[in-house]
Amino acid sequence: MKRGLSGIAVLMLLTFLISACSGGNNAASTNTNAAPAATEAAASTEPKDGGSLIIGVASDPQVLNPNYAGDRVSLTIDQALYAPLFQVNNGEKTFYLAESLTPSEDNLTYTLKLKDGLTWHDGEKLTADDVVFTIDSILDEKQNSFLRANFLINDQPITATKVDDLTVEFKLPQVSPAFEATLVQVSPIPKHIFENEADIEKSTKNAAPVGSGPFKFKEYKAGEYLTLERFDNYFGGKPHLDSVTYRIAKDANAANLALQNGEINVQYLDPKDVATIQATNNFEILPYSEGRLAYLMFNANSDTGALAKKEVRQALSLALSRDELIQTAYTSSEYADPAKSFLTPDALYFTNDVTTFDNDAAKAKELLAAAGESNLKLRYIVQSGNKAQEAISLYVQQKLKEIGVEVELQNMDSSAWVQKFIDLKATDYELALTGYIMGYDPDAYRILFTTGASSNYSHYSNPEVDKLLNEGASEADATKRGEIYKQVQETIAEDAPIYPIAYTKTVVAVSKNYGGIDEAVLKPVVIFEDLSKIYLK
């Protein structure tokens, strides 16, 4: 299978996309594509037009706008709604809306050419005005896009200027080796829809999005499903499928049953469920690396104040064992490798040779005592129905009890969990299992670990790290840049704002009734890079 393992630098909450039969009487309740047997579907492998695809997701989308989508479900749906400028897979560019991207000799100017004849779903032309508007919106502090920090180099903004209807010129304040990795995150939004919106993130126009991707918005019923229909004027060619439906459900067992019954065609699997689904012989089981880090986050902003202390975070980390956590959540090392760095193995300058706090209960007790903390009580938010989260939360509760820390587990459905997690003002919890996929350039991680950054959910702050991350973004010399990021990895590891657990593999089940999987390209976070290639056999 082809895999797109780079070119996506977005925040992704570790929310397993699982779904189930909603039980309601709605358009997504029946699947007319379910075949009696996989062997029957395999008889015809030629692409044909028509039919629908049902993808299982674990929660409602948070926002259908690529400038703000940070959770897996929103990103997955947005990938079908909004086309990117280009993508990068295994070091090679695949151009979508863009036709070319050319740097100047001094690498301070990049010229982007758009393809001719691009249109939005409502028929309006997609031009350089839309690209410039998108970049300006990201940079507008009042619009609160979490992507903003990545478009600043040493606190100076990258500028985008229209040259003509098909050409945009990007000016960099200084050379930035991370620029292309930053631009790859951009999927333009329509200027004619959003130009007068004071708060794009909260705009009611996001409820009926107008994009440029292979499928356009049709219907959304909160808690049940969201359906997209084919966009015949898609620049990449008319998609094969008539529609794609995202089924929303929050219980893994019910979701797996719906998958086996043919009510869901594509779904991420918990490693513990692989054998059961594989035994049906109706699905391709596709494990692949997304460059994902799973970790336990310490909320330094909690009202207890305890987790603002580095020694307390180190102590909590020392109470845990990565090897035990991997066995608990992922069944074996086949699906997860032990993690120590905040960078993932696909990232430039990654090293796992950093300070680690792991599996030393006696030392943990010493650190707690030195920090003046006793009878510590912590709240741990958990997604109900997420097997990995539930298993790890019980393990953490038991291990922290052994060092005298009481952990209260607060179970909530996936949608409520995401809302709680992304609320930067939330002070009523201390622990959460989460994760991210940030792509190949380490500059993307600035939004997670810079003081006050838009996606710094742990509320970590270290002026030295802020300085180093800014320097790394603009350092053109590869050797010097590598040294900067090695130092950043060590400093963050020592400060322990998170407890890195594992670099995990994703497992996706795809019904054998569908073809075009290679052409669609398996992609981190969003399953498929281009859903227009999928067809019903």
State whether 280 and 337 are in the same domain: no
Give residue 63's pLDDT.
94
Which residues neighbour 265 within 8 Å (Cβ) at sequence distance 6 or greater?
31, 33, 53, 54, 55, 510, 511, 513, 514
| pLDDT given for residue 103 in this prediction | 97
Judge contact between 239 and 80, C-beta under 8 A: no
Question: Among all chains, which residue has been given the structure tokens 């898609």?
Answer: 234
154 in a structural domain: yes
- Is there a domain that residue 17 lies in? no
Q: Which of 194, 219, 247 finishes a domain? A: 194
**Same structural domain, 442 and 309:** yes
Residue 118: predicted pLDDT: 98
CA distance 447 to 147: 8
Amino acid sitting at position 180: E
Asked whether 399 and 319 are in contact (CB, 8 A), the reply is yes
203 within some domain: no
Residues 379 and 485 occupy one common structural domain: yes
Domain of residue 465: give its range.
Answer: 291-503
Whether 283 and 296 share a structural domain: no
The answer to the question of residue 251 being in a domain is yes
Is residue 126 one of the residues assigned to a domain?
yes
If you ran DSSP here, which 8-state letter would residue 425 be given? T
DSSP letters, 113-136, are EEPTT-B-TTSPBP-HHHHHHHHH
Domain final residue, candidates 138, 163, 194: 194
Q: Angle at CA 87, nearest 5°, toward 85 and 89?
A: 170
Say if residue 374 is in the same domain as residue 433.
yes
Cα-to-chain-centroid distance, residue 195:
27
- Domain match, 384 and 276 both: no
User: What number of residues does the chain have?
Assistant: 537
| Exposed / middle / buried, residue 46 (Cβ in 10 Å: 0-12, 13-18, 19+) | exposed
> Do 347 and 435 share a domain, yes or no?
yes
Does residue 109 belong to any structural domain of this protein?
A: yes
Residues of the chain with pLDDT under 50: 1-43
Q: What is the CATH number of the domain that holds 173?
A: 3.90.76.10
State the pLDDT at residue 44: 53
pLDDT of residue 330: 83
End-to-end Cα spacing for the chain: 18
Do residues 330 and 469 both lie within one domain? yes
- How high is the pLDDT of residue 45? 63
Q: Say yes or no: 275 and 249 in one domain.
A: yes
Which amino acid makes up residue 471?
E
Place of tokens 């809302």: 419
Gap between the Cα atoms of 108 and 378, Å rounded: 49
The answer on 400 and 295 residing in a single domain is yes
CATH number, position 464: 3.10.105.10
Domain assignment of residue 68, yes or no:
yes
Quick one: 149 and 48 in the same domain?
no
> Phi-psi bin for 141: left (phi > 0), alpha (psi -120 to 50), beta?
alpha
How many Cβ atoms from other residues are within 10 Å of residue 283's Cβ? 23
Q: How far apart are CA 186 and CA 127, in angstroms?
A: 14
The predicted-structure confidence for 480-519, as pLDDT tens digits, reads as follows: 999 999 999 999 999 999 999 999 988 999 999 999 999 9
Structure tokens at 50: 């028509």
Q: With 0-12 CB in 10 A as exposed, 13-18 as middle and 19+ as buried, what is 506?
A: buried
Q: Copy the structure tokens of residue 414.
A: 């996936």
From the list 77, 87, 94, 89, the residue with the least C-alpha distance to 3 is: 89
Compute φ and ψ for 328, nearest 5 degrees.
-65, -45
Closest CA to 387 of 340, 335, 342: 335
Question: Residues 398-419, buried b or exposed e (16+ Cβ, 10 A)?
Answer: ebbeebbbebeebbebbbbbbe
Beta strand segments in 342-496, E: 377-383, 406-412, 431-437
Q: Is 506 helix (H, G, I), strand (E, B) or coil?
A: strand
4 lies in some domain: no
Number of domains in the chain: 3
Strands 109-114 and 98-103: antiparallel
Say yes or no: 112 and 258 in one domain: no
Which residue blocks in 245-346 are alpha helix, DSSP H?
Answer: 252-260, 274-278, 310-318, 322-330
pTM: 0.76
